[in-house]
Structure 1
Amino acid sequence: MENQIQVENYRIQKPEMWAGNIGDQEIMDRIKDSEFARKQTDDGRDYCYFLDKKYYTSNKENSEYACMAYTLNEPGNLERASVSDVIVEENEIYQLHRISVLRDGVLIDKIPDTKIKVLDSENQSSGGVLSSNKKINITIKDLRLYDVLVLEDSRVKPFTDRDFLRKEFSKYVWVSPDNYWAYGSFKFTFINEREETIAYKKTFFRDEQGNVLEPEINYLKKGERFVIEEQNYINPVDAGREIFPYIDFATDNNWKDLSNYIVPFYEEIFSKSSLKDFAPNVVEKLDDIHDQDEKLRFAIEYVQNHIYYIFNADEMNGHKPQEPAITYENKQGDCKAKSVLLKIILDYIGVDASVVLVNFNTDYYIKYYLPSLLNFNHVVVKVNYKGEEYFIDATIRDEFGLIENRGFIYFMHYLEVKRDQELQIRKPFKFPYFCLNEKVDLNVQGSIGKLNVETTYKGNRANAMRRYFKVTNKREIIDSWNNFLFYGLNYSNDRNGTDVRNIFKDAVIDVVSDDKKLNEIKIQYSATVDNPYYTDPQNNRFLMYFDRNVVKASARDFMHKDLPFWHNFDREKYEINLYTDQKIDTEEKYTVQESTINNPYFEYKSRKKVTKNGATVTIECDPLVNIEIPQNEFEKFRNDHHTVADSNFGLGVDIIEPGLMNRLKFSFKKRFK
């Protein structure tokens, strides 16, 4: 390795001083079979003889180093090792120190057999996602099953002027290794070479009985290291029901100081931005609107729909907000730029608004993370209007309605860009409207049923349904409704495998109305149904309609030791009318059964009206959403959803067949039931 190969994005060279230097003999000495290693191989598990990871941070760069040796005993693992990709950010350098294989006791250098290509990692630019990331493609020739692959590499990210947050603040989350792998030796080292103290917080570590330990916070001054080391290690985490232990490393700070750090960057922008000066056309349109609700709606939709959203992954945490005059002139910007422009417009019309930092992807963990501005990856606008609190994502498109009718964004934690702020938690929310309001009518005469379904969608549901009808073929939409009704009417249990188009004849579906102000879209479906009764194996006939969307399977099936259940269901209303020219059993248990549930997290009621030829059920569900349900309250919540699933999510009527013998049979069945 005396002759270093260097290109813009990768280098082949020796490790940096802080990473250390490991020789060939030491590598071979560490690749030793043991009883533990043999057992993993016998069990068919891939085995890593050693993994040595280091993370180095200074005020000039962040770097990660890894040296590992692992088996290629599985064909899939061999394929992944033979061709792999490494994604590097702008100005980040991938350093390759060693590629070797241990084969028949001999350590073979594979760098001469390695081909490296640098490709653009750009595949979403047409959607406004800009990234100067590069994909480094590494192809290694002549890897063989049962080789032991030795890979030693680093990633070095020197800071540019644009990385001002990364220069000031460190943020790194170490997560315990995948429990698929077995490790002979596992070691992780965090090296602080920053001037500032770094705090680290151990979270979701467990005792020997598997109980979660209280989080533990410690500190690293400049030049200090944190080391975690395991021997003969398999991560014991139950991945399906437990959170992997992790350690959060962040520059020691508090939320108030962080908010005061970020505020001046925004205040400078706000102070020198005059909407009248840079956007007179927008001002003119606003002044022509006399209703304040409509002014607010225009402002939101102007920024959402007329300013193109560009997400620059490299700059999201790396640069100051763009001036709104530039955003307006170029008609494009990232979430910060669009949010700042929206706030400037709202300031002009006298609506109280502020910019807030959020992270939708890791929202749950923010309450556990150490305070850091690097916890956030998105910016939205908080609006206080008529005594209510709203959050507007300026990057969304094709969203409509007055502010109280717009879609709801689910998240819990945010930091407001104002002085002396603490991390805030959003209040739980109750919808002021039904997100879905559906009326189902099935009227049967003889062997023909007339089916009509009228559904009104509002809020997020309306926005989604507009998009669906805009991009989907009408025949496909009808088939989707047909398939849903095939199960809702229980035909899947007596004519499974039948083409639904032969069951629902002359099916049509149309958008009846679309009120952009109310953000309300109404869809109507109708069809003729041959043989509309469900017939059981004993030839008993029923009219049935059970909507399984009412049953929240995610609540009933939820099993997790660490995560609380995140409650985000819509407010819904259903009216189901099933009528026939036949007599029905007006006393059948499930036909007349009603329910009332008053849970702290949702109210649910079903009410019935039964006549001699049919029945109606009205179902309403009103949830308290955007809230985590504490584990000590979850079983009651789950059991109440089991109650909903116990025939309280629809309607069924039993047909009394005509004829004296059938009536006698029915009477006898009822008497001895």
Structure 2
Amino acid sequence: MDKQIEIGNYNIRKPEMWAGNIDDQELTERIKDSEFAKKQNSDGKDYCYFLDKKYYTSNTENGEYTCMAYTLNEPANLERASVSDIVVEENEVYNIHRISVLRDGVLIDKIPDTKIKVLDSENQSSGGILSSNKKINITIKDLRLYDVLILEDSRVKTFTDRDFLRKEFSKYVWVSPDNYWAYGNYKFTFINDREQKIAYKKTFFRDETGNVLKPEINYLNQGEKFVFEKHNYINPVDANREIFPFIDFATDNTWKDLSNYVSSIYDEIFHKASLKDFAPNLIEKLNDISDLDDKIQFAIEYVQNNIYYIFNADEMNGHKPQDPAITHENKQGDCKAKSVLLKVILDYIGVESSIVLVNFHTDFYIKYYLPSPLTFNHAIVKINHKNEEFFVDATLRDEFGLLENRGFTYFMHYLEVKPDQELKTRKPYKYPYYCIDEKVEFTAQNTIGKLILTTVYKGNRANAMRRYFKNTNKREVIDSWNNFLFYSLNYSNDRNGTDVRNIFKDASIDIVSDDKRLNEFKIQYKSTVENPYYTDPKNNRFLMYFDRNVVKASARDFMHEDLPFWHNFDSEKYEINLYTDQKIDTQEKYTVQESNINNPYFDFTSRKKITKNGATINIEFKPLVNLEIPQNDFEKFRTDHHTIADSNFGLGIDIIEPGLMNMLRFSLKKRFK
């Protein structure tokens, strides 16, 4: 390709020196139908003749290069190839080197048939997400089924002063390719042109028998390359049960060195100004509060609800936070800015706190990654109070309660912004309260049932339910509860297809109380049910209430060889009362069945009280959360959840129909059961 076009966000030009160069003849020679290629085509699969990927890093720029040739044998692939979007960051340029097709053995340049548009990528700006990213839309005319599409492109990010962290540190994670594709040749090259040494760590690679190999760490000096190459290659990973092998590349450092580097940046910000200087009105409000716990609550909710959260993608590239005086004056800031302001306020009221760096999205992988400040994408606040550690995300909104009553944020790994810190693992957690505390009363008399549900939500549940009731139409809320009860009372099995509004008459739901200090949100649902009994195909009647939320399907169904099960269930308590004016079978196996499970990761009890006209069950579920269940403990954990699902998640009572013949039939049934 001789013609070069310089646009700004994209260029049509030759590759950079580090990417190398390939001419048309060499390209055509590499697209050969080997026996491996013919087999893929005969199996009806798309095939990639070759894929060359290169990643280049220096102290002034990062670059990614790709050259590939693949078949368009499937209409879906033809569609995707015809129209595509590329998103580039600020000061990042997308370079097109070659767009061609090999059609009937003839190489055809498709750049003249390519239309390129540059669009703003600001679709979330109304939600406080600011970004100067650009979206490059590429449309290629006249691609045909059975063409071989050849794409050669690169993207280069040149560092500005705002990218000071990227100048100092490099991080790149290579993940093994999608196992849908078959590759004649797959090649990945990492090129280190930095002054600093780059470490790389190979993780979740397997031996020939499928066993995970021990992670392997090696190093690249300036000018050295790492190459991963495979021929006639299909990634053997089982995507449903295994983690794709990956290689983490990062500037060689220790967590302790990194914590010293980052903490020095934050210390400079903390010492710029005191709260007394820039927020005298806020100090007046704090001084008017006598109780320290109430002061902490006020401080957290002031920052969460009065400082608008702006995620500035460009500024998040570095770890330098905004001055807290500016955050307070402008009433807006990103996660770093809001966290710093909250810490400054906590410092003023004498509460020990620190900033911690996290990445909720890749939390599981952090323990496998090499040390790098670029691992983290979020900042929150750690508070030490009453000999307990609390973690507060200052970017959240509409969260309430004293510190111990607030919602719990799930994550495991973090780096504290203090000198000489190692990567830390958060302790497992046991809720000091029930997230759900519900009482169910269902009374059947003659042919009418009266149903009352009284529920207290706490912590995360209270915050979520408060938002739900605030933002959801009342009729929609009632329908949601009706649908839930339709299954809980087993009506789905004897009146399926019936409008739930015709089953639950005069249904209402009201907020009983909302205590924002205890963070308790209490509601009550009431309805009348005509024909309250579930009737089986043999006309046997039952009064039933089984809450399927108690059954943790994710624990029972979990299957993975590499990922441990992440335990994050809420603590729950239920009291279910079923009453009737009919006689019931007080000895029925499942009616009287109780359970007591003491698993290392949760306690579960169900206790019952049976009378001649009704029964009560008390269910308590107390999990130990925010931890991974080790694989050697998981089968016992799964089995215990199967036990809960075996009729221990609710209550059912059998009605003994009146009349001599019914009594005799019931007696015979019990005798020969």
Q: Are 1:269 and 2:269 counterparts?
A: yes
Q: Deviations over 1:573-630 (max 9, x none)?
A: 0000000000000000110111000000000000000000000000000000001010
**1:356–1:382 CA contact under 8 A, matched in 2:** yes
Question: 1:357 & 1:290 partners in 2: Cα distance?
Answer: 32
Question: 1:96 & 1:201 partners in 2: Cα distance?
Answer: 31
Q: Which moved more, 1:137-146 or 1:33-42?
A: 33-42
Aligned to 1:144: 144
Question: 1:467 & 1:285 partners in 2: Cα distance?
Answer: 27
Aligned to 2:672: 672
Q: Secondary structure at the match of 2:38?
A: helix
Question: 2:250 & 2:555 partners in 1: Cα distance?
Answer: 35
Q: Deviations over 1:144-165 (max 9, x none)?
A: 1110000000000010000011
Aligned to 2:511: 511
Aligned to 2:420: 420
Q: Secondary structure at the match of 2:465?
A: helix
Q: Secondary structure at the match of 2:617?
A: strand
Question: Sequence identity, in percent?
Answer: 81
Q: Secondary structure at the match of 1:476?
A: helix
Aligned to 1:568: 568
Output the amino acid matched with 2:593: Q
Aligned to 2:127: 127
Aligned to 2:394: 394
Aligned to 2:371: 371
Q: Deviations over 1:96-124 (max 9, x none)?
A: 00000000110000000001000001111
Alignment gaps of 5+ in structure 2: none
Question: 2:419 & 2:273 partners in 1: Cα distance?
Answer: 20
Question: 2:525 & 2:383 partners in 1: Cα distance?
Answer: 38
Output the amino acid matched with 2:86: V
Matches for 1:197-216 after TM superposition, within 5 Å: 197-216=197-216
Question: 1:141 & 1:273 partners in 2: Cα distance?
Answer: 59
Residue 319 of structure 1 deviates from its aligned partner by 4.9
Residue 272 of structure 1 deviates from its aligned partner by 1.9
Question: 1:378 & 1:262 partners in 2: Cα distance?
Answer: 14
Output the amino acid matched with 1:268: E
Aligned to 2:429: 429
Question: 1:13 & 1:593 partners in 2: Cα distance?
Answer: 75
Aligned to 2:477: 477
Aligned to 1:318: 318
Q: Secondary structure at the match of 1:537?
A: coil
Aligned to 1:290: 290
Q: Secondary structure at the match of 1:624?
A: strand
Question: 1:41 & 1:267 partners in 2: Cα distance?
Answer: 61
Question: 1:195 & 1:42 partners in 2: Cα distance?
Answer: 49
Q: Are 1:648 and 2:642 counterparts?
A: no
Question: 1:520 & 1:134 partners in 2: Cα distance?
Answer: 45
Question: 1:66 & 1:196 partners in 2: Cα distance?
Answer: 25
Question: 1:458 & 1:312 partners in 2: Cα distance?
Answer: 33
Question: 1:2 & 1:242 partners in 2: Cα distance?
Answer: 45
**1:163–1:319 CA contact under 8 A, matched in 2:** no
Output the amino acid matched with 2:325: A
Residue 422 of structure 1 deviates from its aligned partner by 0.3
Aligned to 1:76: 76
Residue 46 of structure 1 deviates from its aligned partner by 1.1
Residue 318 of structure 1 deviates from its aligned partner by 2.1
Aligned to 1:501: 501
Alignment gaps of 5+ in structure 1: none
**1:367–1:413 CA contact under 8 A, matched in 2:** yes
Q: Secondary structure at the match of 1:162?
A: helix
Output the amino acid matched with 2:666: F
Question: 1:443 & 1:156 partners in 2: Cα distance?
Answer: 70
Q: Secondary structure at the match of 1:641?
A: helix
**2:5–2:13 CA contact under 8 A, matched in 1:** yes
Question: 2:467 & 2:424 partners in 1: Cα distance?
Answer: 33
Question: 2:147 & 2:164 partners in 1: Cα distance?
Answer: 44
Q: Secondary structure at the match of 2:315?
A: coil
Aligned to 1:595: 595
Question: 2:144 & 2:367 partners in 1: Cα distance?
Answer: 47
Aligned to 1:328: 328
Question: 1:165 & 1:656 partners in 2: Cα distance?
Answer: 75
Q: Deviations over 1:505-524 (max 9, x none)?
A: 01001111111111110111
Q: Secondary structure at the match of 1:258?
A: helix
Q: Deviations over 1:463-521 (max 9, x none)?
A: 10111111111111111000000000001111111111110001001111111111110
**2:579–2:613 CA contact under 8 A, matched in 1:** yes
Question: 1:166 & 1:234 partners in 2: Cα distance?
Answer: 34
Aligned to 1:532: 532
Residue 7 of structure 1 deviates from its aligned partner by 1.4
Output the amino acid matched with 1:347: D
Aligned to 2:456: 456
Aligned to 2:281: 281
Residue 43 of structure 1 deviates from its aligned partner by 1.4
Residue 4 of structure 1 deviates from its aligned partner by 1.6
Aligned to 2:349: 349
Q: Are 1:236 and 2:236 counterparts?
A: yes
**1:596–1:605 CA contact under 8 A, matched in 2:** yes
Residue 310 of structure 1 deviates from its aligned partner by 0.3
Question: 1:347 & 1:505 partners in 2: Cα distance?
Answer: 55
**1:46–1:70 CA contact under 8 A, matched in 2:** yes
Question: 1:42 & 1:585 partners in 2: Cα distance?
Answer: 65
**1:162–1:319 CA contact under 8 A, matched in 2:** no
Question: 2:286 & 2:513 partners in 1: Cα distance?
Answer: 28
**2:255–2:371 CA contact under 8 A, matched in 1:** yes
**1:63–1:154 CA contact under 8 A, matched in 2:** yes
Q: Deviations over 1:150-199 (max 9, x none)?
A: 00000000100000111000000000000011111000000000001000
Q: Are 1:443 and 2:443 counterparts?
A: yes
Output the amino acid matched with 1:26: E
**2:37–2:47 CA contact under 8 A, matched in 1:** yes
Residue 3 of structure 1 deviates from its aligned partner by 3.4
Aligned to 2:224: 224
Aligned to 1:36: 36
Query: Deviating runs (4+, > 6 A) in structure 1?
Result: none
Relative to the length of structure 1, the TM-score reads 1.00
**2:412–2:626 CA contact under 8 A, matched in 1:** yes
Q: Deviations over 1:75-116 (max 9, x none)?
A: 110010000000001110000000000001100000000010
Aligned to 1:467: 467
Q: Secondary structure at the match of 1:608?
A: strand
Q: Secondary structure at the match of 1:36?
A: helix
Output the amino acid matched with 1:492: S
Matches for 1:611-622 after TM superposition, within 5 Å: 611-622=611-622
Output the amino acid matched with 1:625: V
**1:273–1:344 CA contact under 8 A, matched in 2:** no
Output the amino acid matched with 2:218: N
Aligned to 2:187: 187
Q: Deviations over 1:34-64 (max 9, x none)?
A: 1111111121211100000000000000000
Question: 2:469 & 2:517 partners in 1: Cα distance?
Answer: 19
**2:65–2:155 CA contact under 8 A, matched in 1:** yes
**1:51–1:186 CA contact under 8 A, matched in 2:** yes
**1:597–1:604 CA contact under 8 A, matched in 2:** yes
**1:206–1:212 CA contact under 8 A, matched in 2:** yes
Aligned to 1:302: 302
Question: 1:441 & 1:272 partners in 2: Cα distance?
Answer: 60
Output the amino acid matched with 2:554: S
Q: Secondary structure at the match of 2:64?
A: strand
Output the amino acid matched with 1:59: N
Residue 296 of structure 1 deviates from its aligned partner by 0.4
Question: 2:477 & 2:298 partners in 1: Cα distance?
Answer: 32
**1:92–1:156 CA contact under 8 A, matched in 2:** yes
**1:78–1:143 CA contact under 8 A, matched in 2:** yes
Q: Deviations over 1:300-358 (max 9, x none)?
A: 00000000000011221325110000000110000000000000000000000000000
Count of equivalent residues: 673
Residue 455 of structure 1 deviates from its aligned partner by 0.8
Q: Secondary structure at the match of 1:367?
A: coil
Relative to the length of structure 2, the TM-score reads 1.00
**1:305–1:397 CA contact under 8 A, matched in 2:** yes
Residue 294 of structure 1 deviates from its aligned partner by 0.6
